[in-house]
Structure 1
């Protein structure tokens, strides 16, 4: 493609970072998805973004689908294209958004895997044998206590935790959104123990390595896998499974899907509703016990 088209793409990515405060993970995804679209354009000898038509986008998506790419991934790629062309529209670089009406194949909705309450207790109610394990248990307690995403936990600073009020501040949630979350008593105890052992250094990060650097996502995933092997948990547990378990267990107890939506930081309640499928039997029992017309009254 022409240099102007490449320049427009780079300007869009910079806008995501500076103005929309998108996470590095989101920017990487957008860059990768739009690079594939750029490669498609070059294979079709399309030199400017304005030359793309809806039919071209459909052909690109169809080719990706034939190569085994699932509907969920294609939905994300189309979302990146729509955002990019909306940006180009505002800059008067295109006359239309060719991705606007293109739909991806529907993806089968999979229920998230969760741990039951006993499994979570067995995982967290274990004694730490080292300072690193004290840190790890504080991380795992916080995942389950507040339903954090992995990226949100790694971004936490010591200043984001209020032990007295039992609150934490998520400064870099999905879409750059902030939210305040409660922290449970067990997590508070684990955090107090970690902070008492946390080495003094200049990095403001809440969770740091033995070298004093902020822990990365990959490191946390490895530490969780290692801990689960140690406690004999048969499931392949990843950080998001603790977030799923938080949501499922909370919804089972409170039945307030709006509250769970706020705590999880979901912009769309439809994303939260998937957890209702995990708890339908419990909801049916509540209905039978409480609805005045659930049972025929006997004389």
Structure 2
């Protein structure tokens, strides 16, 4: 019974436009909720949350679980129960932005071409981890100098212009590939090559951060991208587009217009050139 409910709930979330990662997390916590015998009421949800809090779950995790349970209650038509559940307030703290010198140290610590490119794209293109893992080789347009991030947060596609230096780094890396995977980044899992997992990306970032003497997360690289662009005088609205915080049309006409002003902004900032000395 629970497995059928989970499957139907996942379909509901998909139709609601939730990302694959959100669906995975929501269904995971709902399965825990149901497996432990809790009923779809706000009172039982509070009991479940209180138990998780005692086990050491962070406020951010609790917040995610509340959203998952509220979505489930709505799925079951229990709007009143969903309204009774309140999401906890999360302190609004931004991650520390790295200095350009620190970014340089992290990049130089990566001698492996794949790992180096991962770091360069997280910083130089401001990608989220899930977006990086889902990138396909065909998403990189070498002729026009941009990549397409498909199905970002909110299921929206966006275009990110790439500097000539970063495009060359991608080409250097692809020349070392001996497989036919469509994904830009791959790893060996269960004896075969598969797309890179978010867990591996976190491990890579942490590893090179430690080698550079920095306690580093992937989001810090994305945050540093935005901070350094802003410091160089790039308009905040353009930065929002590059980060995927604003909607972009996927039509060909709008793409041509949008790419021009985004590309000019990336060229003006010259982030990658500053870090690795490109011309």
Q: TM-score, normalised by structure 1?
A: 0.69
Determine the structure 2 residue equivalent to 1:207. 185
Structure-2 separation of matches of 1:113 and 1:245: 8
Deviations 1:256-292 (A, max 9, x none): 3333222222369xxxxxxxxxxxxxxxxxxxxxxxx
1:171 paired with 2:150, answer yes
Deviation of 1:192 (Å): 1.9
Q: Map 1:1-299 to 2 at 5 A.
A: 3=1, 7-17=4-14, 20=17, 22-23=19-20, 25-39=21-35, 42=37, 46=39, 49=40, 52=41, 54-89=42-77, 94=78, 96-124=79-107, 128=111, 133-199=112-178, 201-209=179-187, 212-229=193-210, 232-254=211-233, 256-266=235-245
Structure 1, 62-71 or 238-247: larger mean CA deviation: 62-71
1:110–1:8 Cα change, 3 Å: same
Deviation of 1:68 (Å): 4.1
Q: Which protein shows a greater Rg?
A: 1
Structure-1 separation of matches of 2:206 and 2:47: 41
Structure-1 separation of matches of 2:126 and 2:184: 17
Q: Aligned pairs, how many?
A: 244
1:88–1:254 Cα change, 3 Å: farther
Deviation of 1:246 (Å): 0.9
1:191–1:63 Cα change, 3 Å: same
SS in 2 for 1:168: strand
Q: TM-score, normalised by structure 2?
A: 0.74
Tell me, yes or no, if the aligned pair for 1:146 and 1:184 is still in contact at 8 Å.
no
Deviation of 1:112 (Å): 0.7
Deviations 1:26-48 (A, max 9, x none): 233112322343256x25xx4xx
Structure-2 separation of matches of 1:59 and 1:126: 47
Q: How much is the aligned-residue C-alpha RMSD, in angstroms?
A: 3.0
Gap regions ≥5 residues in structure 1: 269-299
